[in-house]
Amino acid sequence: QLQLQESGPGLVKPSETLSLTCTVSGASINSNTYYWGFIRQPPGKGLEWIGSIYYSGTTYYTSSLKSRVSISRDASRNLFSLRLRSVTAADTAIYYCVSVARDAAGPCWVGPWGQGALVTVSS
Amino acid sequence: SYVLTQPPSVSVAPGVTAWITCGGHNIGSKSVHWYQQRPGQAPILVIFYNGDRPSGIPERFSGSNSGNTATLTITRVEAGDEADYYCQVWDSATDHVVFGGGTKLTVL
């Protein structure tokens, strides 16, 4: 059964870099069946897709964060990671790591989801 | 960028049918997926490919998609269905996963 688990600091200072790791079990991140990505949800607000990485290493990022975000993968440890630079209070959110199913047209539905990690940006 | 529009809230009494809409330009040409998010929990997929149900999702949940509107239908609404619901598509023009703003379903 595919499962994902986020890990990383729950508190980050303004202007620093937010780093989260997602450990995958039940499937290989080298699989071409999935994309792997991150979605965030500010407190009391909706879902915002951050970006995804494919087994080939190709990445996709949302336009609003593209200048500050990077997603990478470590196949030897079966995990992928998020780095978000120059954070502000507006980046405070629950961060979910997710798998994104793939069909012939490309990415389709999201799931399963990790349990989510609350990251607060504050000095 | 592609925009999905949902009503912020829908309220229904127990036992009746709830419809939650998701509007987007020519959304009928895309595959729409729906998620349920209960308070304090991660979202779960309730409908994929417009109208398919993952295993474990009750038959009371169904979906349709045509023209500029996709619809999630929940029949015989129960108190346990009270949650936020999000629609989602893949926008191939921008290679973006796109979510609607979410609809809070309240069971009166």
Q: How confident is the model at residue A55, as a pLDDT?
A: 86
Bridge partner list, A12:
A121
Q: How confident is the model at residue A79, as a pLDDT?
A: 96
Bridge partner list, A40:
A48, A95
**Alpha-carbon gap: A50 to the closest alpha carbon of chain B (Å):** 9
Report DSSP letters for A46-58, one per residue. Answer: --EEEEEE-TTS-
Q: How confident is the model at residue B41, as a pLDDT?
A: 95
Q: pLDDT, tens digit, for every residue of B75-92?
A: 999 999 999 999 999 998
**Phi and psi at residue B29, in whole multiples of 5°?**
-90, 0
For residue B11, give the 3-state DSSP assignment.
strand
Mutation pick from A96, A99, A110, A118 vs chain B, by most beta carbons of B within 10 Å, is: A110
Mutation pick from A108, A115, A118 vs chain B, by most beta carbons of B within 10 Å, is: A108
Q: How confident is the model at residue B48, as a pLDDT?
A: 96
Q: pLDDT, tens digit, for every residue of A53-111?
A: 998 899 999 999 999 999 999 999 999 999 999 999 999 999 999 999 988 888 899 98
Dihedral angle sign, alpha carbons of residues A101, A107, A111, A113: positive
pLDDT band at A28 (very low <50, low <70, confident <90, very high): very high
| pLDDT exceeds 90 at position B64 | yes
CA nearest B39: which of A102, A26, A71, A116?
A116
Output the average pLDDT for chain B.
Answer: 96
| pLDDT exceeds 90 at position A47 | yes
The one-letter amino acid at B64: S
CB contact under 8 A, B1 and A116: no
Per CB distance under 8 Å, which residues of B are interface residues toward A?
1, 31, 33, 35, 42-45, 48-49, 54, 86, 88, 90, 92, 94-102
Q: Whose structure tokens read 């629950």?
A: A94
Q: Whose structure tokens read 């609404």?
A: B77
Cα–Cα distance, B63 to A114 (Å, whole number): 25
Q: Per-residue pLDDT averaged across B35-52, rounded?
A: 96
| pLDDT exceeds 90 at position B38 | yes
Q: How confident is the model at residue A106, as a pLDDT?
A: 83
Residue partners of A16: CB distance under 8 A and separation at least 6: A86, A87
| pLDDT exceeds 90 at position A5 | yes
Q: Tally Cβ neighbours within 10 Å of residue B13.
A: 9
For chains A and B, CB pairs below 8 A equal: 61
Q: Per-residue pLDDT averaged across B16-42, rounded?
A: 97
Q: Residue A94's Cα: distance from chain center in Å? A: 11
Q: How confident is the model at residue A32, as a pLDDT?
A: 87
Q: How confident is the model at residue B67, as a pLDDT?
A: 97
Q: Per-residue pLDDT averaged across A28-40, rounded?
A: 93
Q: What length is written for chain A?
A: 123
Q: How confident is the model at residue A40, as a pLDDT?
A: 98
Q: How confident is the model at residue A25, as a pLDDT?
A: 96
Q: How confident is the model at residue A20, as a pLDDT?
A: 98
Token pair of A91 as six digits? 């980046």
CB contact under 8 A, B97 and A115: no
Q: How confident is the model at residue A103, as a pLDDT?
A: 87
Strands B9-12 and B103-107: parallel
Question: Greater confidence, A111 or B102?
Answer: B102
- Cis geometry, peptide bond prior to residue A43 (ω within 30 degrees of 0): no
The one-letter amino acid at A4: L
| pLDDT exceeds 90 at position B95 | no
**Phi and psi at residue A65, in whole multiples of 5°?**
-115, 0
